[in-house]
């Protein structure tokens, strides 16, 4: 699979570096949960973090 699909523009490196920094930060801080990346037209547009916490037992 290629890095770039026909008709899409690559994401600026500065924006991609910032996004990857946030992904690494969140991945290191979530003990249980999910990190969802949303890609739109070949560009990372959104990051969602869902953390699960259990109490008791």
Classify residue 24 as left (phi > 0), alpha (psi -120 to 50) or beta.
alpha
Is the pTM higher than 0.95?
no
Comparing C-alpha atoms, which of 45, 43, 51 is closest to residue 7?
Answer: 43
Q: What is the pLDDT of residue 10?
A: 66
Cα distance between residue 22 and residue 35, in whole Å: 11
Using one digit for the tens of pLDDT, what is the confidence trace for 2-35? 454 555 666 777 878 888 898 899 999 998 999 9
The DSSP code for 4 is S
Helix runs in 1-57, H state only: 13-29
- Of the pLDDT bands very low, low, confident and very high (cuts 50, 70, 90), residue 48 is very high
């Amino acid at each position: 699979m290629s890095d770039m699909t026909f008709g899409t523009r690559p994401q600026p490196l500065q924006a991609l570096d910032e996004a990857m920094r946030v992904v690494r930060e969140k991945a290191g801080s979530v003990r249980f949960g999910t990190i969802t990346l949303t890609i739109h037209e070949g560009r990372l547009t959104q990051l969602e973090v869902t953390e699960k916490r259990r109490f008791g037992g």
